[in-house]
Amino acid sequence: MAKEIKVPQIGDGVESATVSEVLVAEGDKIEKDQSVIAVESDKASVEVPSSAAGTIKEIKISEGDEVEVGQVIILLEESDDDDDDETEEDNGEASEEEKEKENTSEEENENEDEDSGEKQSGKKKKKIKEENPEDNDEEPEEDDADENKDEKKSSKKDESEADKTSEEKENKKSGESSGESSTGAGIQASPGTRRLARELGVDLTELAEEISGRVSEKDVKEFAKKDSQKSTRSASISLPDFEKWGSVERKPLNNIRKATAKNVTASWQSVPHVFQFDEADITDIQQYLEVNQDKAEKAGGKLTITALLTKIVASALVRFPKFNASIDMENEEMILKNYVNIGIAVATEKGLLVPVIKDADKKSIIEIATELTNIAEKARDGKLSKEDMEGANFSISNLGGIGGTNFTPIVPAFQVAILGISRSAKKPVYIDDEFKPREILPLSLSYDHRLIDGADGAAFINWITQALEDPYKALLGA
């Protein structure tokens, strides 16, 4: 009789999920608690185990199907071992009945041989003959015992062979369920490694071509890291024939655009972004900029909100060192840096460039303003060197000169946060029992949730907001 394998309770409040992968195939022999399908819901991604051992008769679902808790997903022909167990139980019950009959016979035949062992032996032999009238020769009890021993040895041998091939079967099932998919047919890898490969989008077939032997979780992580650096997912998307709808013109991407596309794609794929927003009242700080503009111009620069924010952010990075760090997932470490280098995004005709202000925490606002003016000119003239664009720990992107109320910048590679600045605007602010016109600056903070939590992000942007509203806060390092 076929046994039904159903979807168990996946998680609290989860009533349905989508089948992301079928890990077995019809005809496969599986063990109890062996994973048969993988499902994904809005709360979890798990593998569903079989509630029994046996041979798969029918798979009632396929990848992409929506399944509910309690739904039948597989029909299973239970293994012979289970049937043997049931037979043994039946034999046990029959044996108990025989014993009762034998005890009754013993009481009725008290005058016979007192050796109970001989009586039982004789009765058993007699019973065997009665049940098997075709058998003319009696078999001694030793033969029965030998047969039981042989059966046990055969059973143990079968179990041993099953243990040896269980891993191969698991790999085969995962491969057969997806053909030439990312699970990789016939590749030696544990279920945990296969699950990690699915989560990171790693094709085990491609990975197996680069290594020999069993694939480990470390191999998957290293391959995912290299894959994200050498290519983008967009490259694998097949474009339609746009000429069907009209004439087109193709232009090659310049090197800056190629690098930008590669870097932002890698960052977006590997960094779990969180976005934090705030507004700063910069009415008073604008007066500060106007009063000190002459000093900056004499030094060869221009005092701007970007220059002031660079100094404020530098002070913030000293106070909040995790924002001045990088995360090393391969070694599971946080790299804290004892220097403060800030990248400043500059728009050019060829694309976005990000020159770096080195040791920003040790420079004055006037020094930063002068350096910003110089590197911005070099960027627009295409004269930035490789050294000018290396070593940033944090970045600032100011779109205020172009427009917009808010945006969500992508965290650059090897950094954990970036601050976006939008166009300021006059807004009525309730102060001293009345509304007053104030210049309000929108701020957007993007950060890497692997290292920075929401409370950290809120504290960081809150400190920057307060420093903008009180310039002396940043100057004094308070």
Contact of 418 with 443, CB cutoff 8 Å: no
Contact of 322 with 456, CB cutoff 8 Å: yes
Type of residue numbered 263: N
SS3 sequence of 262-292: HHHHHHHHHCCEEEEEEEEECHHHHHHHHHC
Q: What are phi and psi of 34, to 5 degrees?
A: -80, 140
Residue that the structure tokens 């021993």 belong to: 149
Closest among 393, 390, 388 to 417, alpha carbons compared: 393
Q: How far is CA 384 from CA 296, 342, 354, in A?
A: 22, 16, 10
Is 449 considered catalytic here? Answer: yes
CA dihedral 97, 102, 103, 107 (to 10 degrees): 140
Residue that the structure tokens 């050796």 belong to: 115
- 327 C-beta neighbours (distance < 10 Å), count: 20
Contact of 359 with 340, CB cutoff 8 Å: yes
Contact of 468 with 441, CB cutoff 8 Å: yes
Q: Which residues of 280-298 are buried (b: 16+ CB within 10 A; e: fewer)?
A: bbbbebeebbeebeeebee
Which member of 69, 449, 470, 473 is catalytic? Answer: 449
Closest among 44, 57, 53, 61 to 7, alpha carbons compared: 61
Contact of 191 with 166, CB cutoff 8 Å: no
Could you give the residue numbers annotated as active site?
449
